[in-house]
Amino acid sequence: MSLLVVGSVAFDSLRTPHGDAEEILGGSATYFSVTASYFAPVNVVAVVGDDFGADAISVFTRRSIDIQGLERAKGKTFRWRGQYDVDMNEARTLETQLNVFEHFAPKIPPVYLNSEFVFLGNIDPLLQLHVRQQLPQARLVACDTMNYWISRKPEELKRTLAAVNLLVINETEARMLSGTDNLKRAATEIRALGPNVVVIKRGEYGACLFKDTTIFFAPGYPLEQVYDPTGAGDTFAGGFMGYLARSADLSDAGLRRALVYGSVMASFAVEEFGLSRLLRLQRQEIEARFQEFKCMTHFDV
């Protein structure tokens, strides 16, 4: 089944201990849709500027991503400049130019309105809610958010959370949103706000999923070198939602596999700069790493 993502498309400039990159294609909707395209047909709603050229467009079209919802506005595409220090765990933002993203008002093409699987990337919670309300038939609506919205628009965010089925959030932000440092209580508090399923991303420590009485953990894939963590969270979400859209299996077993596919895809993303590794993945590499996750976590009783 097809999967709709609403989010940002950007040009990123990065400084890392392993090298620099200038104006490479990035943004939450980009990482998400490229990743999810390995699993299911993807429709993308985002905005780019008049500087968004054929090369950038072809990244989407070569992955058969539907870009009817990729709006072209007058002005420059969103730009972000960041730096990673030695531990690579957190980006330091050096510069943000919102450009056309500043006045982004997602427009859902009519053909997307019956989308069953939806991911609301990290944008203003008011916009997330507006999109969600246009998609009453969706089977699963997931969203992401960040510290900025948690502190600046807490009431708007709560209204959005009350209208979605699933939240994907990083651990620090889960603590901030719930007001508790404890992982399990944080998940309980967040689920009480609306989402039946809460997925908490823990960086190199992996990810975990909370739903009713189910708690499921996947470790981070142990890489010898992380080159560029940009987009890892959106890549995780793309693998997670992509697998769910492909399988249409929202059972406990399906959600577990989805969490592992999310972790698999995120582990590839950070192996090279930007989208490079994700753009030349083979299906069998994905499945082989999925099996590795089984080897790393299973034991006989």
Stretch that binds a copy of itself, among 56-64, 150-158, 215-223, 229-237 (CB under 8 A): 215-223
Stretch that binds a copy of itself, among 57-65, 92-100, 111-119, 255-263 (CB under 8 A): 255-263
Residue 58, classified by CB atoms within 10 Å of its CB into exposed (0-12), middle (13-18) or buried (19+), is exposed
- Nearest distance from residue 185's CB to a copy of itself, in Å? 6
Contacts of 182 (CB under 8 A, 6+ apart): none
- Radius of gyration of the chain, Cα coordinates, nearest whole angstrom: 18
What are the tokens at 284?
């069998």
- 98: alpha, beta or left, given left = phi > 0 and alpha = psi -120 to 50? alpha
What are the tokens at 87?
């531990």
Q: Assess 17 for contact with a copy of itself (CB under 8 A).
A: no
Query: How does strand 42-48 pair with strand 117-120?
Result: unpaired
Q: Assess 290 for contact with a copy of itself (CB under 8 A).
A: yes
Q: Assess 183 for contact with a copy of itself (CB under 8 A).
A: yes
Binding mask 90-129 for a copy of itself (x = CB under 8 A): ----------------------------------------
Cβ proximity to a copy of itself: between 19 and 53 the closer is: 19
- Nearest 5°: phi and psi at 200? -110, 125
Q: Assess 136 for contact with a copy of itself (CB under 8 A).
A: no
> Residue for token digits 């093409």?
109
Query: How is residue 212 annotated by DSSP?
Result: T
Stretch that binds a copy of itself, among 5-13, 120-128, 139-147, 177-185 (CB under 8 A): 177-185
Q: Which residues bind a copy of itself (CB under 8 A)?
A: 86-87, 181-185, 202, 204-206, 208, 214-217, 219, 222-226, 253, 256-257, 259-260, 290-291, 294-301
